[in-house]
Amino acid sequence: MLRKALSAVLTIVALSAGAQASANWPLTEATSFGSNPGNLKLFHYVPANLPEGAPLVVVAHGCTQTAQDFADTSGWPSLANEYQFAVVFPQTSTENEPAGGCFRTWEAAHQQRGAGEPLSVKQMIDYMHAQFSISLDEVFMTGMSSGGHLTNVMLATYPDVFKAGAPESSFPYKCAMAMSELATCSFGGKILTAQQWGDLARSGYPGYSGPRPKVQIWHGSNDPYIYLVNQYQLVKQWTNVHGIDAYADYGTYLLGQPRYFYKTLYGDTRVETVTIQGMGHAIAVDPGYGPWQCGSTGPYAVDFNICASYWIATFFDLT
């Protein structure tokens, strides 16, 4: 009964489920990359003849998915080939989290700098730097749902490591502090002030006063598992961290999808949102060979004529 209850909660949080996508992109597993306290697996995609000092993008999957699933649907390997950067795909398992194979972002042991899953991801970055001479000044992170939560964890606990991040279909860092709080967060039941959300983010690295990564936040307007209200809760969290208000300075459309910019007094955009109208719990893809197209349809990857990964890479200044 308990296992069924936990599975139900994680289905509500949802992070992904169902059949796996067919394998198209050859990922390489590195089996030794540090102490790995989070017991994660490291898969990477490195284009041939990658130049020294190339950027690195960390891409995290959702519950019930694998690194291979997300690589095959998201479009990140093809973008890496075209724009010459490396990609790391952290992978968790049902051994770590039996109910759904999720990243354990609601557990205190995995919300801290220097411990658990965050340290494992940091060790993956260090491994890529040692093995492929990637630039430690050009490290970025994105992920969907459970992977989006992990993205927020990493931006909060290692702001000195990441230049930018892009959570998709997620809710704020330290919204859920126990499994019992996942449903409340998913359905937008935890509403805090910008200051409160910002204080939680700053608690990921107490005393840090250096530069913070800019953030682009993606969400489907019809997400039935992680409600759209969470996109604005993330806006409040990350704008407060950057010392700006949570009122959009400018709005436009990105291939027909609403896009809002949150800027400093000097006009520097530090937070953006893109909301895919009519999309549920998924990443937006646009299969094809056009200059802005990428990705493949599959479980939790839906063709909305916009490839989120391309525009996230553009936000990261990689394209």
- DSSP, residue by residue, 243-284: T--SS-SEEEEETTEEEEEEE-TTS-EEEEEEEETT--SSEE
Token pair for 185 = 């967060």
Nearest Cα residue to 54 out of 80, 25, 28:
80
Report which residue type is found at 52.
Answer: E
Rounded Cα distance between 131 and 135, Å, is 11
Per residue in 235-259, is it b (16+ CB within 10 Å) or e — as a string? bbbbbbbbebebebeeeeeeeebeb
Residue 37 burial by CB count (10 A; 0-12/13-18/19+): exposed, middle or buried?
A: middle
> Hey, which residues are catalytic here?
145
